[in-house]
Structure 1
Amino acid sequence: MSTDTPHPAPRPLTKTPAEITASINPSPRRRLAIILSFPLLILLAVPFWWYTTSIERLPLPESRISALEGANYTAPRAHILFTADSSAFPTPPPGRRQFDTKDILRSLGKEVTKGVDGIFAKQKPSERDVRQWDLVYEGDKEAIGAILRVHIRTWEYANSSFPLEPYVQLPETGLMTSGIPAGTLVLPVHPDQVGDRNLKLHYKIALINSILSVYPPRSPEIPLRALKYAPNITLSFVLLNEDATQGDYVHSWDIEGTIKDHFLPHLEALRPIFNFTIESQILYHAPLSFAPSYSEIPGGERDKALDASVDVINSMPDHSQKVSMEAAVKVMEDERGNKAWMINREQMTIFVNSEKWSLDSAQAFLLPQFGGVVILNPPLTSFQSHSYHLSRTALAPAFHLFTQHLYSLLALPSLPYTPNKLHVPPPPSPFHRPSSLMQPLSPWQVHQALLARLEENFQEGKKTLKGIVRLVRKIGEMKVGEGVRDTVLGAVIRLENVQAFVLARDAVELANKAFFDPSMMGLLYFPDEHKFAVYTPLFAPIAVPLIIGLLRELLSRRKRGKAVEYTEKSQSDHVTLNEIQEGAVHGIATSQVDINEKEKTMESSGDSLSDNSPLRTIRSRVIPGET
């Protein structure tokens, strides 16, 4: 006997497959709404995308930039303070009017400016220079803060014969300076010359020649080896040691004291032009592939090096540089003696990569627009030890060369010592030797350097602005926002009104800032072609299913519409047939006119009879001859 409970009978299906499918799938209207929601969302995001990716191109002041191309800036006029000792002019005889020194200087100053203008007037119109300075006198408002000075000095040690010998006063003080500020252009006159009847003419000639020497009508050009102007410059002093594991290395050096002696006097004068940052470090490098030997210098090489040194000294225009160079060479000879580190010719040719070399030329070299390198031989007292300290005396020759390198890299002018125009200044004291250090820059040299950098910045600013305009014209999709436009406009305004070094410096800075603006540089690295190349693979896989689904839904709705239309027509035909049949049952005959009216009614409603329509069948029976 089985104890299994009987299974309940299966429930009959209450829904057809079509109803089940309809309950699972959304309705056609809802399915269409879902499909259309995706492109609708994209359309709603188009304004935001357009706003975030649109290219803003504000107009640049192209006409004003074009006007700057052929324009020349107006250099600021310098004020030269003109002073003199009261004893530099003869005393009038009794009964004659006694003029003040200031009145005499004004009269002499007019003659000097008139003579300079006459010299420039004789030049060709296309090459004619313009005087960019004026003489001012004590008590004038323009004399306040004047850094350029000219002074006529009565000096008993001056040359007692004409012509006069003007010079620029050294910064060192002593018995011979008589309290004259450093950098003053001095015209020394002997007391015996004061009574000369042609003294005024000699003053005029000496003043014109000396002022045109220290203040030329055109600023000096910036050589290619010089650094491009930058307001902030870092001076990095690096001591390179060979591998310290082999011994004989420098463990310390008196860098602070050496910089104070050799560099600070020169850097202090350049504060209106540059901002300097000084740093120092000691580094180590791998040893050379060959080992120099410390041995006697051959006589021929020694004479060759001395001849080269003499040629270099004689070629220097600055007397103070000659004196300092001679002292540096003498110090090196005293310290080194007849011995030096020797390298054979083949190794030296490979090392310097040149067949023309000498002991002097291999000692130091200049890297254009970068810096200088000096090969320093260790002191003689350090040969017995493995590490040593470099004192100020040991660093003096190297830093003397570094100072010359600094002048070359910054394009600093030197005083043009020429006969009958500008002479070498006398020593500050007859009891002390002249300093072996290079003399600091005079205000005349600083002013010339400032004018040269002013011209450089003016030309660089025009060139950069012109490049911006050309670049914006060439690349039509480049963005020119409000920040770029304001920066360019600020540079143009400063160049139009440039009469000071600060304006030219700021103009170049603004022009470079606009040229390298991130909003403009972005299009150069990510143009529109790159955007399409990135967006197409990203959105194509998403867009294709949406488009296909939308097309399928439209086709499906079209089929469903035709099916509903066919069903409605069939129902209308059946109603008409039923009316005709009922009329036949009740004895009412259906005429041809009635059938025609039914057809017109359907045609007026936009319907037409199908081939298998019951009405068409009845019509064929009533109207004979129609098939």
Structure 2
Amino acid sequence: MSTAVENGGTADLTSRKTASLINETADSSLPAAAATGPKEPPPEKPADTRRRTWVIFSFWAIVLALGLPIWWKTTSIYRAELPLSEMLDWADGKACRPAFPLRIALDASPLQEHEAQNLLRLTQHALDDLNDFSGHHLRLQLAANADPTKTAKTGSDVALTIRITPGDSIHSASSSLHPHLPILDVAYPPNSIPTQTSSSSGLATYLAAQLRSTFAEEQNVISYLLETSSIPSEHRPKGISPEVAETLSKQMTRSMKYSRTYHLTFSLFTNGPEPSSWDIESAIDEYMRPMLDMLSPIHNFTIDTQVQLYATPGVQSQVLSKEDLSSFINAAEWPLSPSIGGAPTVNFVVYIGNQTIGAVSESEAADISRSWLIPQWGSVYLLLPPSGPHVSSETLKQTVLTFTSHLLSLLGTPQSGSLPMRLSTLNRMRSADLLLRASSSLGSLARLSLALPSISIPSSVADGVAKSMQHLQMACSTLGGSDSLEHARIAEAEAERAFFEKSMVGQLYFPDEHKVAVYLPLLGPVGVPLVMGLLNELKAWRKRRRQKDGPA
């Protein structure tokens, strides 16, 4: 019994010692486990590291070598190369300043050769002293043809012929312009011919003053065009007076924009069933056609006619005031012909009814009692009702003559001088106007290209600019000649076409902020994983580099 108790006590003692030993062992292992922390992953194999590096490199290589070039090619804006500095030179008046070398022929057949040469020399000196406008270079020369009328009719480059003859007056000279030819007849008093030793002459001064007065309107118009252009003030000639500028502004506002071809529409409107026919074709051929033929070097014209019965004007009062004239045309009911073939239309309306125009004063009665001109549109003439249903050509004579005068005003023809001189002046004025317009358009296009680097410039714009500058150069070199107007017209048309190119204008409304707003939602999901993967790989590489360099 005692033996069993002893064995049981020994067993209990052994189990307690064993438990105590296990606890001590466990307690001694706790600090070691806490000291080592979480178990590190097994080291990455070099092959796996290289594989991951090559994967990241492959993605970036595809993006840089393939994705970016495709994106750049498909989203880049084509900008044709433009000669911007030359375009700005044209706009600033540095490439060409409108100057017209006008040749003036002196027909001094009553004088001896040496007397004519001496008068020519003194007149040129006096003219140079009076002329303060650089746009006109009046150069005198002796007339080569004994008959100046033949020279004028052959259409030579001579702008004006001065024909001097002995006069009846013994005190002063007199002059008069030929009504149908560019000839200035001057009658000089006896003993007014300068001698060989004379340094000045009253006749030479008189001739110079007459030439300056003859071309004064043209000089004022060209000065006005230069003042209203984009040319800087330091490159402009001496300015004109405010009164002259206001008058010229009204004339420019009234006249139509230049076009090589105009469409003339002659309309007959009646307030009843008669008259129903008119002889407008023969009236045009007889009274207007000669002037249209003279204008053919500057403009072409197409003509059509129409008749409308029971036409109701926009103003019902019988006596029209000046305020009523602007609303007399009833555009809602009068079928006025539109432009044909893109050419501007000039409307000439003949209205037969019981309306008359009330004159403000007796001096204005003759001018506004029958007709009035509508700026940049045409003309209206109130015709008294004829006795029958047909309007004859003779009845339309004054009407067509009035329309002819109004047409010249609408085309911007000068008011002074004979008709040939006025048309020659119109040619030079239009050449200068178109040259300045084309130069201004080129300058605007150059400044637009510099201000908007992202705007598209197609090759058609570059071609138009090159063609415009080519014709501008030819127009500038032939100013005053017969070909200058045509070159200036082509240059202005090409410059306008280049500036208003449809594909280029659309880029004005596509700013860079819009591009960023479009691309960010697309590039964000793709770019973030690529960038983060590259950064993580760089960090891992730096860590491996430090571990490799540490033991060393």
State the TM bucket, normalised to the shorter chain. Answer: 0.5 to 0.7
Question: Which amino acid letter does the alignment assign opposite residue 235 of structure 1?
Answer: L
Say if 2:143 is the partner of 1:134. no
SS in 2 for 1:199: coil
Q: Helix, strand or coil for the counterpart of 1:229?
A: coil
Question: Which of 101, 112, 137 is residue 77 of structure 1 equivalent to?
Answer: 101
Amino acid at match of 2:398: P
Give the 3 Å change call, closer, same or farther, for CA 159–274 of structure 1 in structure 2: farther
Q: How does 1:342-491 map to 2 (within 5 A)?
A: 361=368, 363-379=370-386, 381-382=387-388, 388-415=389-416, 441-442=419-420, 444-491=421-468
Cα pair 1:163 1:206 within 8 Å, conserved: no
Q: What displacement does 1:484 show?
A: 0.8
Contact residue 464 and residue 512 of structure 1 kept, 8 A:
yes
State the partner residue of 1:184. Answer: 183
1:36-63: per-residue Cα shift (whole Å, max 9, x none)? Answer: xxxx9xx999988976764211232221
Give yes or no for the alignment of 1:108 onto 2:119.
Answer: yes
Q: 2:501 maps to which residue? A: 517
Counterpart contact for 2:179–2:419, Cα < 8 Å? no
Cα pair 1:81 1:146 within 8 Å, conserved: no
SS in 2 for 1:272: coil
> Paired residue for 1:492?
469
- The residue number in structure 1 matching 2:273 is 247
Separation in 1 of the partners of 2:493 and 2:369? Answer: 39
Aligned 8 A contact 2:88 2:442 in 1? no
Which amino acid is 2:203 matched to? Answer: Y
The equivalent residue for 1:57 is 79
1:118 aligns with 2:129: yes
CA shift for structure 1 position 131: 4.7
Closer, same or farther in 2 for the Cα pair 1:484/1:262, shift >3 Å? same
Return the alpha-carbon distance in structure 2 between the equivalents of residues 415 and 288 of structure 1. 35
The Cα of 1:377 is off from its aligned counterpart by 2.2
Paired residues for 1:256-405 under 5 Å = 256-284=281-309, 286-288=311-313, 341=354, 361=368, 363-379=370-386, 381-382=387-388, 388-405=389-406
Point out where structure 2 has 5 or more consecutive residues left out of the alignment.
Answer: 1-61, 146-150, 195-200, 225-247, 322-351, 527-552
- Structure 2 counterpart of 1:607: none
Q: Distance in 2 between matches of 1:290 and 1:519?
A: 46
Cα 1:218–1:525 change in 2 (3 A) is same
Does the 8 Å CA contact 2:355/2:382 hold for their aligned counterparts? no
CA distance in 1, matches of 2:287, 2:69: 66
Distance in 1, matches of 2:106 and 2:444, equals 45
Q: Distance in 2 between matches of 1:145 and 1:342?
A: 48
| Residues 219, 457 of structure 1: alpha-carbon distance in 2 compared, 3 angstrom cutoff | farther
Query: What is the SS of the residue equivalent to 1:470?
Result: helix
Partner of 2:50: none
Contact 2:115 2:193 in 1 (8 A): no
1:224 to 253, 257, 266: 253
- Structure-1 residue corresponding to 2:215: 215
Match of 1:616 in 2: none
Q: 1:198 aligns with which of 186, 192, 199?
A: 192
Amino acid at match of 2:175: P
Aligned to 1:8: none
- Contact kept in structure 2, 1:166 and 1:186, CA below 8 Å: yes
**Structure 2 residue matching 1:238: 3-state secondary structure:** strand
Write the distance in 2 (CA, Å) between the matches of 1:160 and 1:67: 54
Q: Which amino acid aligns with 1:378?
A: P
Query: What is the identity percentage for the equivalent residue pairs of Structure 1 and Structure 2?
Result: 26
Query: 1:294-325 CA deviation, whole Å, 9 max, x = no partner?
Result: 9xxxxxx9xxxxxxxxxxxxxxxxxxxxxxxx
Q: Which amino acid aligns with 1:197?
A: N
1:80 and 1:70, CA in 2 relative to 1: closer, same or farther beyond 3 A? Answer: closer
Which letter maps to 2:419?
L
Are residue 148 (structure 1) and residue 167 (structure 2) matched? no
Partner residue of 1:614? none
Q: Tell me the distance in 2 between the aligned counterparts of 1:475 and 1:134.
A: 47
Asked if structure 1 preserves the Cα contact closer than 8 Å seen for 2:442 and 2:465, the reply is yes
Question: Given that residues 120 and 140 in structure 2 are in contact (C-alpha distance below 8 angstroms), is that contact kept between their aligned partners in structure 1?
Answer: yes
Q: CA distance change for structure 1 residues 460 and 135 in 2, over 3 Å: closer, same or farther? A: same
SS across alignment from 1:166: strand
Structure 1 counterpart SS, 2:383: coil
How far is 1:413 from its partner? 1.1
8 Å CA contact 2:102, 2:158 repeated in 1 = no
TM-score, normalised by the number of residues in structure 1: 0.51
Q: Which residue of 1 aligns with 2:328?
A: none
1:219, CA displacement in angstroms?
Answer: 4.7
Number of equivalent positions? 376
SS in 2 for 1:487: helix
1:51–1:280 distance in 2 versus 1, CA, 3 Å: farther
Deviation string 1:447-502 (CA, Å, 9 cap, x unpaired) is 32222222211221122122222333444442212221121133234445613333
1:112 Cα deviation after fit: 0.7
Rate the CA distance shift 1:486–1:252 in 2: closer, same or farther, 3 A: same
Check whether the contact 1:491–1:507 (CA below 8 A) recurs between aligned residues. Answer: yes
| Counterparts of 2:172 and 2:392, CA distance in 1 | 46
Residue identity matched to 1:132: H
Amino acid across the alignment from 1:198: S
Aligned equivalents of 2:125, 2:463: Cα separation in 1 = 45
* TM-aligned CA distance change 1:130 to 1:227, over 3 Å: closer
1:480-538 deviations in Å (ceiling 9; x for gaps): 122211211332344456133333222211111101223323445788999999x99xx
**Could you tell which deviates more after superposition, 255-264 or 507-516?**
255-264
**C-alpha separation between the residues in 1 aligned to 2:492 and 2:314?**
47
Query: CA distance change for structure 1 residues 526 and 400 in 2, over 3 Å: closer, same or farther?
Result: farther
Contact (CA 8 Å) 2:254, 2:376: kept in 1 or not? yes
Return the offset for 1:257: 2.3
Matched to 2:354, the amino acid is W
Q: Deviations over 1:357-402 (max 9, x none)?
A: 98964632222122122222212x23xxxxx222222212322322
Q: What code does the residue aligned with 2:187 have?
A: P
**In structure 2, what is the Cα distance between the partners aligned to 1:284 and 1:366?**
23
Superposition TM-score, scaled by structure 2 size: 0.57
Amino acid at match of 1:247: P
Which deviations, in whole Å up to 9, do the C-alpha atoms of 1:420-455 show, x marking residues without a partner?
xxxxxxxxxxxxxxxxxxxx712x222322222222
Show the counterpart of 1:168: 177
Contact 2:437 2:492 in 1 (8 A): yes
CA distance in 2, matches of 1:414, 1:358: 21
**Would the aligned equivalents of 1:219 and 1:452 in 2 still touch at CA under 8 Å?**
no
The alpha-carbon distance between structure 1 residues 392 and 147, as it changes in their structure 2 partners (threshold 3 A), is: farther
Distance 1:519 1:139, change over 3 A: same
Once residues 261 and 410 of structure 2 are traced to their aligned partners in structure 1, the CA distance between those partners, rounded to angstroms, is 14
Q: Is the 8 A contact 1:116 1:131 kept in 2?
A: no
For 1:364 and 1:472, how far apart are their aligned partners in 2?
A: 49
Is residue 108–residue 142 contact of structure 2 (8 Å, CA) maintained in 1?
no
* Structure showing greater Rg: 1
Inter-partner Cα distance in structure 2 for 1:402 and 1:262: 10
Letter in 2 for 1:218: Q
**For the structure 1 residues 363 and 527, does the alpha-carbon distance in structure 2 shift closer, same or farther, using more than 3 Å as the test?**
farther
Cα 1:524–1:261 change in 2 (3 A) is farther
Q: In structure 1, give the amino acid aligned to 2:412.
A: A
Q: Residues 340-360 of structure 1: CA distance to partner in whole angstroms, max 9, x if unpaired?
A: 9368x9xx99xxxxxxx9896
* Shift in alpha-carbon separation, 1:137–1:290, aligned structure 2, 3 A: closer
